[in-house]
Structure 1
């Protein structure tokens, strides 16, 4: 059993990933890549440790739509998963 909440664990993981060396993404991320407002909202929800369902309820989207936005932002950022996306978001100043 963990003493920290899920959002605390996600934030700690993102902070750790942002401050340590991580393997290169599948494709180099282009600093000029622009995320849509929805993709940014999904990324911010991820950075707060929210599930796809929670993000969807807050944004009035289905869970499948949240997953679609997540896949698109992963591809744009050149990352494989939520942890890499959040770490990348912290490094680029997209989330705080």
Structure 2
């Protein structure tokens, strides 16, 4: 219920860039993806509403588009205030520089 309010308010519809060394798009359960989710949850209004990040578990890749290189993922987000189902996407921002974009939808 709390996550629906947050998504409706656009609080978690944020994106972060991370530079990586890999030539392949990070997986849904990669340490880089988990770290970015943690950063998004632990900032600003999201942290006030959700509490502190605890973990992301039950991570699944729902879809992968090879042509556009976009992963769509689902997981359970656990914080000090709630446990909520989330979905997020991972896509290249600049593949040549190894920079990708993670957005919690």
TM above 0.5: no
Structure with the higher helix share, 1 or 2: 1
TM-score when scaled to structure 2?
A: 0.24
By percentage of residues, which structure has more strand? 2
TM-score (norm 1): 0.26
